[in-house]
Amino acid sequence: MSSIPHDHAHGHDHDHHHPTGLMRWITTTNHKDIGSMYLWFSFIMFLAGGVMALTIRAELFQPGLQVVNPELFNALTTLHGLVMVFGAIMPAFVGFANWMIPLMIGASDMAFARMNNWSFWLLPPAGLLLIGSFFVPGGAPGVGWTLYPPLTIQMGMGMDMAIFAIHILGMSSIMGSINIITTILNMRAPGMTLMKMPLFCWTWLITAYLLIAVMPVLAGAVTMLLTDRHFGTSFFNAAGGGDPVLFQHIFWFFGHPEVYIVILPGFGVVSQVIPAFSRKPLFGYASMVYATAAIAILSFVVWAHHMFTAGMPVAGLLFFMYATMLIAVPTGVKVFNWLATMWRGAITFEAPMLFSLGFIFLFTFGGFSGLVLSIVAIDIVLHDTYYVVAHFHYTMVAGALFSAYAALYYWLPKWTGHMYDETLAKWHFWLSLIFFNITFFVQHFLGLAGMPRRIPDYALQFAEFNLISTIGAFGFGITQLLALYIVLKCIKGGEKAPAKPWDGAEGLEWTVPSPAPYHTFEEPPVVR
């Protein structure tokens, strides 16, 4: 695959007029520009989704209805889920991929620079459709990010906007993934064999495969929703011989791999950061690669663990339970490898390391709650309660989001040419860590006590923990503004960053100066 003859000709000429101002960003074909745009878009979406989350938490501050009405509450829950997953986390990691993969494998740019630009510029229209749905008659869909029919059928125009937004996001993800796969398979520098590739590239390669495998499936599912809504088909309608549960199967066939799409690049980041700050090579590189692949493959056969209460034959329940539990093994391998990497290293605790350690600690915790949920008999009483909400915020906020922050602080010097403010960054970590747990740890208790999710109002017995959770949420929220400040400060100035600001760091990205010049590796470096 990578053995295509390299004809070493001169790189392409620069003396082209480059548009400036806004047009530069709109028309750019430069992976660094596009990476930055992805990251900014993702952070804006994060703030949007966060404000929704805080509104939700405000309503749940105490029993009774005070802040929003139930319809709006459901809409907020739905959009919070969609915006955070599709608008904040996924684009964030695509942004890191755009910035770093070419630098890590010694390529001059992404394989399809123009299509790369389109992948990004498809996001704003999608984002507008999603957020815009709040302002149309009937409001945003209040069906949950899982879009279960028949409730979906009852919604107004906002539902259709969400559906088309998902179509567009799908296009974007598929093009982006094809771009990443092609770049990695076809543009590695001479001598950079697959098994020499930084792990971040590996996890992204596998993530990209997951994406092109399941995004079209989601598109198909929402298309059927659309025809059921407007063209009288009966895919999810028992009256016509269809079945609402069919949608659940198709959605989760997408949905479970999706959650690994969210976390795998994070695994990659942590696998770059831990060795760098332990000043010791990554332990078990090969097994890391195999474990990632194993997780990806298993993720296709566990989807029904989201449907244990839908009514399934015992055989089905058992199969999906066993398959789900199995995922603990490869994930465990990763956790253990990270520990072994630190073992007898020379560890220091800069912000990227702190966020990576926070990641390992809290993600594993979330993994365990996942394991508890995978036991059918237990899931029966915990399904659709706050225990699940707690589980997936441990995996997605303390998991995906923390690893994203680790990546941010790890590569920020390379992007801006300045060191970020380490003290503030440490504050950002510790405050996030504390407020995160205040927000979500207590939600386990709520779930165990039987508080259902997606409710704007609750019985008195849940009052105290909800109150605590809300306080934590606002603390966490404000803390995130600190991150924004740190980034802006770092862009504006600060101590000059050397080409390799982390003495333990490895890889081609540290061989180019900081800030990384606009064009890099036009003549591929040779890796031994």
C-alpha 432/C-alpha 357 separation (Å) is 13
The 10 Å CB-count burial string (b at 16+, else e) for 155-190 is: beebbbbbbbbbbbbbbbbbbbbbbbbebbeebbbe
Catalytic (active site) residue 145: yes
C-alpha 399/C-alpha 99 separation (Å) is 21
Please, are residues 199 and 289 in contact by the beta-carbon 8 Å criterion? yes
SS3 496: strand
> x-or-dash pattern for other proteins, window 125-164, by CB under 8 A?
xx-xx-------xx---xxx---xxxx-xx-xx--xx--x
| DSSP conformation class of 523 | S
Site for other proteins in 450-469 (CB under 8 A): 450, 452, 454-461, 463-465, 467-468
Site for ligand HEA in 143-172 (CB under 6 A): 144-146
The pair of structure tokens assigned to 389 is: 């909400």
Binding of residue 371 to ligand HEA (CB under 6 A):
yes
Residue 51 touches which of other proteins, Cu ion, ligand HEA, none (Cβ within 5-8 Å per kind): ligand HEA
Residue 10 touches which of other proteins, Cu ion, ligand HEA, none (Cβ within 5-8 Å per kind): other proteins
Catalytic (active site) residue 160: no
Pick the closer one to ligand HEA by CB: 256 or 414: 256
Binding of residue 444 to Cu ion (CB under 5 A):
no
Catalytic (active site) residue 80: yes
Catalytic (active site) residue 306: yes
Catalytic (active site) residue 121: no
Q: Which of 238, 478, 484, 526 binds other proteins (CB under 8 A)?
A: 238
Q: Cα dihedral angle (277, 183, 333, 320), rounded to 10 degrees? A: 140
Instruction: Compute the least distance from the CB of residue 484 to other proteins, in Å.
Output: 26
Concatenating the DSSP letter of every residue in 465-489 gives HHHHHHHHHHHHHHHHHHHHHHHHH
SS3 13: coil
Q: Which of 358, 367, 413, 501 binds ligand HEA (CB under 6 A)?
A: 367
Site for ligand HEA in 433-452 (CB under 6 A): 439
Pick the closer one to other proteins by CB: 361 or 485: 361
Radius of gyration of the chain (CA): 23
Please, are residues 450 and 140 in contact by the beta-carbon 8 Å criterion? no
Binding of residue 77 to ligand HEA (CB under 6 A):
yes
Q: Which of 42, 116, 292, 324 binds ligand HEA (CB under 6 A)?
A: 324
Q: Which of 32, 229, 280, 383 binds ligand HEA (CB under 6 A)?
A: 383
What are the residues facing 385 on neighbouring strands? Answer: 452
Q: Cα dihedral angle (431, 434, 439, 443), rounded to 10 degrees? A: 160
Given the residues 331, 341, 385, 403, select the one marked as catalytic. 331
Residue 284 touches which of other proteins, ligand HEA, Cu ion, none (Cβ within 5-8 Å per kind): other proteins
Residue type, 160: D
Catalytic (active site) residue 109: yes
Instruction: Compute the least distance from the CB of residue 425 to ligand HEA, in Å.
Output: 17
Catalytic (active site) residue 305: yes
Close Cβ partners of 343 (under 8 Å, ≥ 6 residues apart): 283
Instruction: Compute the least distance from the CB of residue 317 to other proteins, in Å.
Output: 6
The pair of structure tokens assigned to 238 is: 């028992």
C-alpha 277/C-alpha 270 separation (Å) is 11
Task: At 227, give phi and psi (nearest 5°).
Answer: -70, -35
What are the residues facing 418 on neighbouring strands? Answer: 496
Q: Which of 80, 256, 280, 391 binds Cu ion (CB under 5 A)?
A: 256
Catalytic (active site) residue 383: no
Binding of residue 426 to other proteins (CB under 8 A):
no
Catalytic (active site) residue 3: no
Choose the stretch contacting ligand HEA; rule: CB under 6 A; options: 20-28, 33-41, 97-105, 259-267: 259-267
The pair of structure tokens assigned to 192 is: 């950079």
Beta strand spans in 187-252 (E): none
Residue 526: left (phi > 0), alpha (psi -120 to 50), or beta?
A: beta
SS3 452: strand
Please, are residues 111 and 187 in contact by the beta-carbon 8 Å criterion? yes
What are the residues facing 452 on neighbouring strands? Answer: 385
> x-or-dash pattern for other proteins, window 217-236, by CB under 8 A?
x-xxx--x-xxxxxxxxxxx
Instruction: Compute the least distance from the CB of residue 305 to Cu ion, in Å.
Output: 6
Binding of residue 396 to ligand HEA (CB under 6 A):
yes
Pick the closer one to other proteins by CB: 61 or 427: 61
Sites of contact with ligand HEA (CB under 6 A): 47, 50-51, 53-54, 56-57, 77-78, 80-81, 84-85, 89, 144-146, 259, 262-263, 305-306, 324, 327-328, 331-332, 335, 364, 367-368, 370-371, 373-374, 379, 383, 388-389, 391-393, 395-397, 399-401, 439, 453-454, 473-474, 476-478, 480-481
Just list the catalytic residues.
Answer: 80, 109, 145, 172-173, 256, 258, 260, 271, 305-306, 331, 334, 453
